A = this chain, B = another copy of it.
Amino acid sequence: MANFCKTIEKISNTTLLLDEERCRANIRLMVQRAEVAGVLFRPHFKTHQSGLVGEWFRDEGVSCISVSSLRMAAYFAEYGWDDITIAFPVNIRELDAIKKLTMRIRLNLLVESQEVVNQLDREGIESGIFIKIDTGAGRTGIPVGQHDEICRLAETINKTQTLKLQGLLAHGGNTYWAKGAEAIRKIAADAALSMDMARKRIGNELLILSWGDTPSCSMMNDNPGFDEWRPGNFVFYDVMQYHIGSCMLSDIAVALACPVVAVHHSRRQAVIHGGAVHLSKDCIRAENDFELFGYVVEFTDSGWGSPVPGAWLGSVSQEHGIVNLPEDMCLRLKPGQLIGILPVHSCLTVDAMKEMTTLNGYPVHCLK
């Protein structure tokens, strides 16, 4: 694929490459998994934040999405998405803008307190409502066992004229630190069971149980009872997901192309223009202060290969990255060459870069 050689030739500084084929395969597989599971697929678009990548979802029949801010909802509404859940608790300072958006599209909001529901009601907001439930991630939401509080909130919502209770929504953030596929599946199964109990207490079997996280949606063998899935990261995956077991390294669809600016043979390291402002400071930590900010790939005629054994991005500052290298690669690397970094956390890398380039050299713009 000579086009990719041209793309690489033209790159003069740090550039986030997107392999459309891998990305579309990731989308297709998750659409199929959701179909088999019998759930509504409402993918989270916070990872790619891109109108174009959104179209690739549409090509697979996706018609409703999740986002993590009102700004992101407004951005995707511009791209024709008209059924959006903002999977982040309502910020009542934004009620005016929320109201405007509800007049254009079908919007679902996330609430977890009486005060916020009362405010939405006072303003006459017409939207779907999910109650945010905490099934163990401990980030936010009403703890799933607090049935009285959940039921009271459901009643308050049901009493309003314009808010429509759609369901209960939880984020499986605790799958990220679970050990192994079985533990991850158990978290999802326990969450489904306890969310179903809360739904039974509310007494409305039509309520949707909405669940989202890439590890469990990538690894569940059967559906323990959810009605809707909202994974996001799977669109690109990353080294963190590989470590968790959600994907193979060959599924990772983005790589940061970084110019080498110095090679240090004595310490078998290269310095690249690729730092925290490109990749974020997210990393995988292990004993003895080991930190992993990304794996190293080399570019081929058609894209990138498997990570180079013994090569990894070991530290980043604002603009610099320090790459540890095996001897032979260190010997042949020269300033001015490009190497690729598979990011530890693709969501934050895309958010930092705000633009990607396909292997054919086309720009892919993201929400700025």
Contact = CB atoms under 8 A, between A and B. Distances in A.
A93 B259 CA distance: 8
Contacts of A140: 261-262, 264, 271, 320, 322
Interface residues of A, number: 55
Interface in A248-278: 259, 261-264, 267, 271, 273, 276-277
Contacts of A368: 368
A139 interface: yes
A335 interface: yes
A69 to B, nearest CB: 6
Nearest to A119: B336
B334 A88 contact: no
Contacts of A264: 140
B317 A173 contact: yes
B335 A69 contact: no
Contacts of A322: 139-140
A97 B259 CA distance: 15
Nearest to A318: B347
Interface stretch (A110-118, A203-211, A214-222): A110-118
Contacts of A96: 12
A262 B89 contact: yes
Contacts of A277: 348, 351
A13 interface: yes
Interface in A269-327: 271, 273, 276-277, 280-282, 317-320, 322
Contacts of A89: 261-262, 271, 335
Contacts of A36: none
A71 B317 contact: no
B318 A262 contact: no
Contact of A88 (B113, B320, B336, B347): B320
Interface in A123-179: 132, 138-141, 173
A74 to B, nearest CB: 12
Contacts of A319: 46, 68-69, 88
Nearest to A97: B12
A53 interface: no
A319 B348 CA distance: 10
A281 B115 CA distance: 31
Given A12-B91, A12-B93, A69-B273, 11 more contacts: A13-B70, A13-B91, A88-B273, A88-B320, A89-B261, A89-B335, A91-B273, A92-B335, A140-B261, A140-B320, A141-B262
8 contacts: A13-B70, A68-B319, A90-B335, A93-B338, A138-B267, A139-B322, A140-B264, A318-B351
Interface of A: 11-13, 46, 68-71, 88-94, 96-97, 112-113, 115-116, 119, 132, 138-141, 173, 259, 261-264, 267, 271, 273, 276-277, 280-282, 317-320, 322, 334-336, 338, 347-348, 351-352, 368
Q: Which 5 A-B residue pairs are closest in the complex by CB-CB distance?
A: A89-B261, A92-B336, A140-B271, A281-B281, A12-B93
